[in-house]
Amino acid sequence: MAANGQIKIFTLKIDGKDVSARSDQTVLQVCRENEFFIPTLCHLEGLSNIGACRLCMVEVAGQRKLLPACTTMVSEAMEVTTTNDKLAHYRKMTLELIFSERNHTCSVCVSNNHCELQFLSQKLGINHIRVPYRFPKFAVDASHPYFILDHNRCILCTRCVRVCDEIEGAHVWDVSGRGIQAKVITELNQPWGSADTCTQCGKCVNVCPVGALSEKGRSVAENTKRSGFLPYLTARRKEKI
């Protein structure tokens, strides 16, 4: 964005095609608008971008490093490459690492057939994992009256943390520990059912891309997620301020 706050129109090249974009847009937004496919897991329309999943990496001419499309703002005459062998290799490796980190077993998962991780793996052609699985031992928290938290399926995208903080305003969720010990927690790492600040709104469940958060008493086929209301809510919240 320009220093005086005015929005400019930039022209940039994505995969050799000329496109125009507003200066307040991210590379990811422009790519999606122009129907270039970029896989994402942590990005969700209506939430802030943190560039955590590393799946939206793109090549920008003149930059040595790959850049995450969701947190890179567009600039004039930018040349972006969204698909090539190097990017495909990195994206596949990232997905494989996500699979190896926790216990992702699609056949017995509540999100089977409506899971973003599963969908992306099929789309990117993952057929085996080249790194050893870690098989960590994680408990399942079913203390909440309506929802279930299963750390075994969590990919630490922190969508639940952000939706609870940014949209619901409760900040029940956060990430404890660091590195391989990191996991999502409610309040003081206590059972979800005992968290007084939880409003039981279910937004975290609806934004979870995998089977880590699910609704109780629903069959696998019924455990669908819907997050289309988020941009609407964000706009309404802005209106109020």
* Residues at the contact surface with other proteins, assessed by CB under 8 A: 165, 170-178, 185-189, 197
Nearer to other proteins, 52 or 170 (CB): 170
The CB-of-157 to other proteins minimum distance in angstroms stands at 16
78 forms beta bridges with: none
Nearer to other proteins, 59 or 174 (CB): 174
The CB-of-69 to other proteins minimum distance in angstroms stands at 27
φ/ψ of 185, rounded to 5, equals -135, 160
Nearer to other proteins, 69 or 185 (CB): 185
The CB-of-121 to other proteins minimum distance in angstroms stands at 29
Alpha-carbon distance of 62 to 59, in angstroms, equals: 9
**What Rg, from alpha-carbon coordinates, does the chain have?**
19
Nearer to other proteins, 105 or 190 (CB): 190
The CB-of-167 to other proteins minimum distance in angstroms stands at 14
Upper half-sphere CA count for residue 194 (Cβ side, 13 Å): 7
In this structure, the number of other CB atoms found within 10 A of the CB of residue 4 comes to 5
Alpha-carbon distance of 219 to 175, in angstroms, equals: 28
Tokens representing 141 are 């928290």
